[in-house]
């Protein structure tokens, strides 16, 4: 049995095809006619639903493609928007635009919930689990747009729903790459670089939780939990930054609030 996160899917028909209503909504969203509906059904299929349906492809391959496109297109957009900034600035800002939180915000912005469907076992999943599913779904959708509609429509979608909203929100002024901040601190303070160690994993496969410990030298600086190793590492680094003594705060980089896109 599958659980449809969308009321728009026609439960009486094969989910290989989008309904006319849903197809129209999709075409309005991506501002393009859909030539191959099947690729979008694949983009909307979470792996937990694959065993319950005739359609045997999940969205993980498209997620991989979308992730690569997202990094490139946002990188290009920021390169053009901030012509006077260096690589370090652009790298940090890009991370704010492509992380799971930003992609989840995009999923809410485009109401992706009306398209995605998952296995019924995820009904009992955590809110964070659904956030990850929707964030991954944005990447898969980007991959599908590229295959079906081409690069220009892909760029248009990413600019409209990710780049421009985040610039308006001032996300280019927020430095939430805590790992990067901690690495910069360790190098400026001339101490050993941080090491991240996975010390625990728990939960079912579709709702895993990782625990990561961070060490600098022989000292434990923090411990974080997350739905992925990366998010657990970021949480551990965030906690570690909070333990830096006041006299060492001078080594921390502070974002320039006067930055604005061109």
Q: Any catalytic annotation for residue 136?
A: no
Task: Decide if 173 contacts 97 (C-beta within 8 A).
Answer: no
Q: Any catalytic annotation for residue 67?
A: yes
Task: Decide if 209 contacts 202 (C-beta within 8 A).
Answer: yes
DSSP symbol at 160: I
Separation of alpha carbons 112 and 254, rounded Å: 35
Task: Decide if 67 contacts 139 (C-beta within 8 A).
Answer: yes
Could you count the other beta carbons within 10 Å of the beta carbon of residue 76? Answer: 13
Angle between helices 151-158 and 127-149 (to 10 degrees): 150
Task: Decide if 94 contacts 74 (C-beta within 8 A).
Answer: yes
* Listed residue (108, 139, 140, 151) closest to 39, CA to CA: 140
Instruction: Pick the catalytic residue from 42, 63, 136, 139.
Output: 139
Q: Where are the alpha helices (DSSP H) in the chain?
A: 20-30, 37-43, 47-50, 60-81, 87-98, 100-109, 127-149, 151-158, 164-169, 178-188, 229-241
Dihedral (CA of 20, 24, 29, 30) sign = positive
Instruction: Pick the catalytic residue from 63, 67, 105, 136.
Output: 67
Q: Which residues are catalytic?
A: 67, 139
């Amino acid at each position: 049995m599958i659980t449809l996160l969308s009321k728009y899917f026609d439960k009486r028909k094969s989910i290989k095809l989008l309904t006319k209503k849903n197809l129209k909504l999709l075409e309005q969203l991506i501002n393009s006619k859909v030539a191959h509906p099947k690729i979008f059904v694949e983009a909307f299929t979470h792996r937990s639903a694959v065993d319950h349906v005739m359609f045997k492809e999940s969205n993980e391959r498209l997620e991989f493609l979308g992730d690569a496109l997202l990094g490139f297109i946002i990188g290009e957009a920021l390169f053009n928007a901030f012509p006077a900034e260096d690589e370090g600035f652009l790298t940090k800002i890009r991370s704010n635009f492509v992380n799971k939180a930003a992609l989840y915000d995009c999923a809410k912005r485009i109401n992706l919930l009306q398209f995605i469907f998952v296995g019924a076992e995820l009904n009992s999943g955590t809110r964070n689990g659904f956030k990850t599913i929707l964030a991954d779904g944005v990447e898969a959708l980007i991959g599908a747009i590229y295959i079906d509609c081409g690069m220009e429509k892909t760029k248009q979608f990413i600019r409209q729903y990710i780049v421009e909203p985040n610039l308006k929100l001032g996300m280019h002024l927020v430095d939430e790459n805590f790992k990067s901040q901690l690495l910069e601190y360790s190098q400026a303070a001339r101490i050993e670089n941080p090491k991240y160690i996975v010390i625990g994993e728990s939960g079912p496969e579709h709702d895993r939780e990782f625990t990561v410990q961070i060490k600098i030298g022989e000292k434990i600086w923090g411990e974080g939990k997350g739905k992925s190793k990366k998010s657990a590492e970021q949480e551990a680094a965030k906690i570690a930054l909070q333990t830096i003594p006041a006299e060492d705060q001078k080594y921390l980089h502070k974002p320039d609030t006067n930055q604005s896109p061109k």
